[in-house]
Chain A
Amino acid sequence: MEDHARAPPIVESIPEERCRELTDTIGVWVGKSSRVLLRLVGRRATSFPGLLALRVSPRLMRRLGRQLRSCTVVTGTNGKTTTSVMLATVFRSKGPCVHNASGANLRQGLMNALITSADWRGRLRADRAVFEVDEATLPLVAADLPIDFVAVTNVFRDQLDRYGEIDTALQLIIDGIRRTRATAVLNADDPLARHIGLRCGRPTVYFGMARQLARPPEREQTRDGEACLRCGHRLRYDGYFYGQLGLYWCSHCRFARPPLDFTGLYDGTALHVTEGRSGPETYELPVRGLFNAYNALCAIAVARLNGFRPAEIAAALKRYRGPAGRMQVFATEPVSILSLIKNPAGCDSILQAICREPGPKVLCVAINDRAADGRDVSWLWDADWELVPERCGVAQCVTTGTRAEDMAVRLKYAGYPTGRIETTPDLEDGIRRALRAARALGGLPVHVLTTYTALHEAARILESLAAEAAAPERP
């Protein structure tokens, strides 16, 4: 072993720095060629080439990263993908931008995005980057990338499952930010994100929603364990936006929602953003739902901090195409919003988001029971459809899909008036009827909820109906 360690390096004649460069170049080559190979065999290459490249050359991320002029990472529990894709869309309006594929938010996923943007000699073809980063990955890449902004969308408690403790998740983010020289862009309405802001030791910028959007606390279920992270006393709320996001303050110490640098007022179609005393600037949103408005607000804040003008951001957001089925907006007549529902928890969160949308609306629910949906639709009875008659402001319902009739029964037993339920198994007929009802009611928005196998068909139908609406009237 000793002998081996003392053996002269094979590439003795090449100076050390030159040798490193060579290794890095080989790393780029390995990464890029494995990408090409994977493409040839028809695989999606979002992480594996990055993993290989990191194996060959561990310093490659730093080497490629330092070519960036601006680098933003987005982390948090929910909304990382939407926020970072929105931001990449804005950045790309001024030139190429490195961005990792949705979900590829570990180290190798970031590496892969860098390799993709690099030429075969290891030169980046972009000088901006925005990365979606897993909380646990942030500390691992903080030293290798010239991160100037770390955006934290929120820290929800469902991380408990993955990291064992909320403290661990928070600590990972705090450690990550401390290893950068970045400004932290934080969700002020989230007490956990505020805690990060107090502890990370970096400059902070806070975004949050306007007070008037908050709902009085009594409608929310009591949240156990909402304790002040500073002193352990119970947090109080003057109002809630959604989940733990709200107007919080500690009854014992001075922990409270901080003053906002970017204040969002969501009106159901647009977000009006006030920066300090200037504004508001209005941004039409390509998606609906308060959770998406938060994502847009976070993206807008980072884009503004990067020197983008409101008009540039607004124009870019219009081009944003979100992941299918997350309150995706279609320019039908009247407007329709498509959401995927596949289990009780996901369905409940969509229903709650619809309840939060202002004004009356029409609901179209498409339930299929094909193999990919699950043949058994009993889960419909575990989802909280009782919200529909109680709080959602639904003026009319259409149920459709192979289980249209079961869904109608579910709504009836949820307490929705049967006289306002239409049923048709044919998806296109269902969507057309919902839009017709919405027009008859004076142009109400139509929320289309579908199970997995109906999603893409619904999207296709809505797109063609939107094209019809956009076409000039024929004689």
Chain B
Amino acid sequence: MLNLYADRGNVQTLLRRCEWRGLHAHVTPVRRHDEVRLRDYHLVLIGGGSDREQALVAEALRRRRREWKAAVEDGLPVLAVCGGYQLLGEYYQLPDGTKVPGLELLDLVTTAGRPRLIGNIAIESPEVGTVVGFENHGGRTVHRHAPLGTVLRGHGNNGRDGYEGVRYRNVVGTYIHGPLLPKNPRLADFLLSLAAAYAGVAVDFPPLDDELEWAAHRAFLTRHAGVRGPR
């Protein structure tokens, strides 16, 4: 598992859910100048930082763009959140028109916009059901891939088309943090099963006692997002 500026909560969730099933996972935090051999990893988490940090990370990662592209096409599972999500695309266009180039893994572009899109968000995903959390982004993202889900409440990719996030091969990109995985155990397990399949290990994922997680998920849907969604 590789962890670039990821949310501590997301990492913690994946680790615990492996541990509770008797699986062993190892996390490597990666800094900007660290040499990364993507072959060594079965799941990559990319979180967000400030715009400046983000640009620096993009610059560093772009040097290995071909390797990234090959790995993603080969099925490397990636969870990219907020700035990490924007980084998957071709560029991020700043208010002054400058385009900060991304990793160009997806046919996706982001343009800075106003106001920032902030608030609770809930979406419906065909693969993992409802996903809930918090969004806080200035960028408006459009892409030609499948979305992670349709927006039930909140803004999503750009506040216009009703879609949130991206799904491409084993890549999941999203603006939802909060953090994302603790309250969305189906999504967490979905990523773990992708990682296991990619690693070539035949493990099944017995269900865990997720009573607290679902209680938080449901409370969020009813109290904070005002939607009565199925789980």
Q: Give Cα A391–Cα B90 distance, bound, in whole angstroms.
A: 47
Answer whether residue B211 sits at the interface, using C-beta atoms and an 8 A cutoff.
Answer: yes
**What is the 8 Å Cβ interface bit string for chain B, positions 120-155, against chain A (1 contact, 0 not)?**
100000000000001010000000000000000000
A406 touches B134 (CB 8 A): no
* CB of A301 to closest CB in B, whole Å: 42
CB-CB under 8 A from A382, the residues of chain B are 8
Tell me whether A376 and B212 are in contact (CB under 8 A).
Answer: no
Least Cβ distance of A383 to chain B in Å? 10
Cβ-closest chain A residue relative to B9: A381
Residues of A within 8 A of B228 (CB): none
Q: For chain B, residues 163 to 215, give those with C-beta under 8 angstroms from any C-beta of chain A.
A: 177-179, 182-183, 209, 211-213, 215
Q: Which residues 15-37 of B have a CB within 8 angstroms of A?
A: 16
Give the nearest-CB partner of A407 in chain B.
B216
Chain A residue with minimal CB distance to B223? Answer: A402
CB pair B215–A405 under 8 Å, yes or no, is: yes
Residues of A close to B177: CB separation below 8 A: 378
Residues from chain A with a CB closer than 8 A to the CB of B94 are none
Indicate if the CB atoms of B216 and A425 lie closer than 8 Å: no
B214: nearest chain-A partner, CB-CB:
A405
Chain A, 365-403, contact with B by CB distance < 8 Å: what is the 0/1 string?
Answer: 000010000011110111000000000000000000010
The reply to whether the CB of A423 lies closer than 8 angstroms to some CB of chain B is: yes
A418 at the interface (CB under 8 A from B): yes
Point out the residues of chain A lying under 8 angstroms from B216, CB to CB.
Answer: 405-406, 408-409
Interface flags, A45-67, vs B, CB<8A=1, else 0: 00000000000000000000000
A221 to chain B minimum Cβ distance, whole angstroms, is 18
What CA separation (Å) do A409 and B9 show in the bound complex? 10
**Closest CB in chain B relative to A379 CB, distance in Å:** 10
B104 located at the interface, meaning its Cβ lies under 8 Å from any Cβ of chain A in the complex: no
Determine the distance from Cα of A386 to Cα of B29 in the docked complex, in whole angstroms: 19
- Which of A369, A381, A421 makes the CB contact (< 8 A) with B212? A421
Evaluate contact between B178 and A405: CB separation under 8 angstroms. Answer: no
A233 CB to closest chain B CB (Å) equals 32
- Is A408 touching B215 in the complex (CB atoms < 8 A)? yes
State which residues 412-436 of A face B: CB under 8 Å: 412-413, 415, 418, 421, 423, 425
The verdict on B86 contacting chain A, using a C-beta distance below 8 Å, is no
The reply to whether A418 and B212 contact each other, CB–CB distance below 8 Å, is yes
Complex CA gap A333/B180 in Å reads 39
Residues in chain B near residue A425, CB distance under 8 A: 219, 223
For residue B224, CB closer than 8 A to chain A, the reply is yes
Q: In this complex, what residue of B is CB-closest to A411?
A: B212
Q: How many A-B residue pairs have CB under 8 A?
A: 62
Which residues in A have their C-beta under 8 angstroms from that of B179?
378, 381
Q: Is B59 an interface residue (CB 8 A)?
A: no
Cα of A418 to Cα of B223 in the assembled complex, Å: 23
Question: B47 CB to closest chain A CB, in angstroms?
Answer: 11
- Chain A nearest CB, measured from B5 CB (Å): 13
Main secondary structure of the interface of A (DSSP, over half): helix
A215 CB-CB contact with B under 8 Å: no
In the assembled complex, the Cα of A443 lies from the Cα of B215 at a distance in Å of 30
Q: Which of A402, A408, A413 contacts B12 (CB 8 A)?
A: A413
A410: interface (CB < 8 Å) = yes
Contacts of B211 in A (CB 8 A): 418
B54 contacts A by Cβ under 8 Å: no
What residues on A are CB-neighbors of B183 within 8 Å? 406, 409
Q: Which residues of B contact A406 (CB under 8 A)?
A: 182-183, 216, 220
> Is B13's beta carbon under 8 Å from chain A?
yes
In the bound complex, what is the Cα–Cα distance between A421 and B215 (angstroms)?
Answer: 13
How distant is the Cα of A376 from the Cα of B219 in the complex, in angstroms?
15
Asked if residues B212 and A409 are in contact (CB atoms below 8 Å), the reply is yes
Query: In the complex, are the beta carbons of B136 and A423 less than 8 A apart?
Result: no
Residues on the A chain within 8 Å of B9, using CB: 378, 380-381, 410, 413
Q: A380 CA to B216 CA in the complex, in Å?
A: 14
B12 to chain A, nearest CB (A): 5
Closest chain A residue to B10, Cβ basis: A381
For the complex, give the distance between the alpha carbons of A377 and B179 in Å: 9
Contacts of B223 in A (CB 8 A): 402, 425
Contact partners of A381 in chain B: CB under 8 A: 7-9, 12, 179, 182
Bound-state CA distance A408–B213 (Å) is 8
**In the complex the two chains form, is A376's CB within 8 Å of B178's CB?**
yes
**Which of the listed residues B8, B9, B16 has the most CB atoms from chain A within 10 Å of its own CB?**
B9
Report the separation of the CA atoms of residues A119 and B7 in the bound assembly, to the nearest whole angstrom. Answer: 59
CA of A375 to CA of B118, assembled, Å:
9
Q: Shortest CB–CB separation between residue B121 and chain A, in angstroms?
A: 11
The chain B residue sitting closest to A382, CB to CB, is B8
Q: How far is the CA of A423 from the CA of B215 in the complex (A)?
A: 10
Q: Give Cα distance in the complex from A413 to B177, angstroms.
A: 17
Partner of A378, one of B118, B120, B178, B209: B178
Complex contact B213–A375 (CB within 8 A):
no
Residues of B within 8 A of A380 (CB): 9
CB pair A418 B213 closer than 8 Å: no
| Smallest Cβ-Cβ distance to B136: which chain A residue | A376
* Chain B nearest CB, measured from A290 CB (Å): 27
User: Which 7 pairs between the two chains have the least Cβ-Cβ distance?
Assistant: A381-B9, A405-B216, A405-B219, A405-B215, A376-B134, A409-B216, A408-B212
- Measuring CB to CB, which residues of chain A are less than 8 angstroms from any residue of chain B? 369, 375-378, 380-382, 402, 404-406, 408-410, 412-413, 415, 418, 421, 423, 425
Additional A-B contacts beyond A378-B178, A409-B183, A425-B223 (5; CB < 8 A): A377-B134, A381-B8, A381-B182, A409-B216, A413-B13
Q: List 25 A-B contacts (CB under 8 A).
A: A375-B119, A376-B134, A376-B178, A377-B134, A378-B7, A378-B9, A378-B177, A380-B9, A381-B7, A381-B8, A381-B9, A381-B179, A381-B182, A402-B224, A405-B219, A406-B182, A406-B183, A406-B216, A409-B182, A409-B183, A412-B212, A413-B13, A413-B182, A418-B209, A418-B212
